[in-house]
């Protein structure tokens, strides 16, 4: 039930003074809704005001109390979003079965300018919304390995979403990592911050850039994958322990082994492939359009959604 903004307390009703309000409360009529469903005679008997005056008070209470009706579909939509972060666009949310999941790792891979970072920014804003509005009512830890964190861009998206941009930025903790050791440390030392600040989204943008530049050549591959594996395990553990969502971006390479179709494959090999609960392949289309393909998901069928990167964020 929603109430008329002007009438909140019993004392706000016409004819009900502090003494009669006190008497009504003592008799169990402690809020506007209870008065709205009471008979004027009851109210008069209890409070000592005249029946006429009581009738006016009950009528005012009725007017101040409105019922909100939701369709089954509206409720379904809200339920689907529980435990998920809205990606900003309906089509993409549907592809994801509601949004980016908590307790899971979502990976977005694709070429440069395909929108991986922009989607991350949108999630940084949306995770801060209340649970029934497509958020997780939580804050963000953002591991920036490519130096592409843009607070001004986040402000823009936050403002467009009707949120206070300063507050939104205040709720994002950024670590600029310039080596794999820093990247790993940022996650290993994150527990305290996550607990104390109610972090509900960890963004790693990008997962592989530093690993690729530090471990060059075939000889280093084994060592790289071992280090990467333990890093990803730690991320998984955070997701499980704190019911948070992990969103990581990934780079791609051309796989010469694929003769037909799109040869673009994410880097990181099996270690990354196995870790990601949901994998999204993003590619550029005309102008601001991007195609997002759901490549791997535990419970949703493969499919595609078209999104737009606008100055206001991700849209259908
Ligand atoms: P890499 O990190 O280089 O691999 O790319 P990415 O996939 O992370 O790309 P990103 O998410 O940074 O997307 C970049 C694209 O977003 C650009 O091509 C722009 O078209 C678009 N973009 C960024 N900011 C804005 C903006 O303020 N308004 C609009 N309309 N588009 C924007
Ligand atoms: Mg990027």
Proximal ligand: closest to the CA of 144: 2
Place of tokens 């549907």: 94
What is the distance between the alpha carbons of residues 144 and 205, in angstroms, rounded to a whole number? 5
Helices 180-188 + 221-242 axis angle, to 10: 20
26 and 118 in a common domain: no
Whole-model pTM over 0.85? no
Cα–Cα distance for residue pair 84/201, rounded to 1 Å: 11
Tell me the HSE value of 155 on the side-chain side, using a 13 A CA sphere.
5
Question: Could you report the per-residue pLDDT of 224-278, keeping only the tens digit for each?
Answer: 999 999 999 999 999 989 999 999 999 999 988 888 888 899 999 999 999 999 9
C-alpha distances in angstroms, 98 versus 79, 90, 135, 293? Answer: 9, 9, 11, 15
Residue 84 and residue 49 in one domain: no
87, 114, 157, 289, best to mutate for ligand 1 pocket (most atoms within 8 Å of CB): 114
One domain for residues 133 and 45 = no
Q: Structural domain tally of the chain?
A: 2
Distance 189 CA to ligand 2 centre (A): 24
User: For residue 235, what is the domain's CATH number?
Assistant: 3.40.50.300
Residues 170 and 147 in one domain: yes
Does residue 97 sit in the same domain as residue 51? no
**Residue 79, pLDDT score:** 58
Q: Which domain holds residue 166?
A: 77-315
Indicate if 105 and 228 belong to the same structural domain: yes
CATH code of 36's domain: 1.10.150.20
70 in a structural domain? no
pLDDT at 71 (0 to 100): 83
Which among 288, 293, 292, 284 is positioned nearest to 309, based on CA atoms? 288
Position 184 in a domain: yes
- Judge if 37 and 145 occupy the same domain: no
Tell me: do 32 and 129 sit in the same domain. Answer: no
User: Whole-angstrom Cα distance, residue 181 to residue 233?
Assistant: 15
Say if residue 24 is in the same domain as residue 151: no
More confident residue, 296 or 121: 121
**Cis omega before residue 206 (within 30°)?**
yes
Q: Quick check: is 154 in a domain?
A: yes
Least confident window among 84-88, 182-186, 252-256: 252-256
* Alpha-carbon gap, residue 241 to 91, rounded angstroms: 30
- The verdict on 161 and 218 lying in the same domain is yes
Ligand 1: residues within 6 Å at CB?
110, 112-118, 146, 148, 153, 288, 309-311
């Amino acid at each position: 039930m929603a109430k008329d903004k002007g009438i909140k307390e019993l004392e706000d009703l016409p004819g009900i003074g502090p003494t009669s309000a006190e008497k009504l409360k003592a008799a169990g009529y402690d809020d506007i809704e209870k008065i709205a469903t009471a008979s004027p005679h009851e109210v008069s008997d209890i409070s000592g005001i005249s029946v006429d005056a009581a009738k006016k008070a009950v009528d005012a209470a009725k007017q101040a109390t409105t019922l909100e009706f939701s369709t089954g579909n509206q409720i379904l939509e809200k339920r689907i979003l529980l435990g998920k972060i809205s990606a900003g666009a309906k089509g993409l949310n549907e592809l994801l079965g509601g949004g980016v999941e908590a307790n899971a790792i979502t990976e977005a891979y694709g070429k440069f300018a395909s929108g991986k970072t922009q989607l991350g920014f949108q999630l940084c804003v949306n995770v801060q919304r209340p649970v029934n509005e497509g958020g997780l009512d939580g804050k963000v830890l953002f591991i920036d390995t490519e130096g592409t964190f843009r607070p001004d861009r986040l402000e823009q998206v936050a403002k467009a979403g009707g949120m206070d941009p300063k507050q939104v930025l205040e709720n994002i903790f950024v670590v600029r990592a310039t080596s794999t050791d820093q990247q790993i440390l940022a996650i290993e030392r994150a527990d305290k911050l996550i607990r104390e600040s109610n972090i509900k989204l960890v963004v790693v943008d990008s997962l592989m850039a530093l690993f690729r530049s530090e471990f060059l050549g075939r000889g280093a591959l084994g060592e790289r994958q071992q280090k990467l594996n333990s890093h990803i395990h730690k991320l998984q553990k955070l997701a499980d322990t704190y019911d948070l969502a992990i969103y990581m971006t990934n780079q791609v390479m051309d796989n010469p082994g694929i003769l037909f179709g799109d040869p673009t494959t994410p880097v990181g090999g099996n270690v990354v492939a196995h870790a990601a609960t949901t994998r999204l392949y993003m590619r550029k289309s005309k102008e601001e359009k991007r195609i997002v393909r759901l490549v791997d998901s535990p419970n949703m069928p493969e499919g595609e959604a078209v999104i737009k990167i606008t100055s206001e964020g991700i849209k259908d």
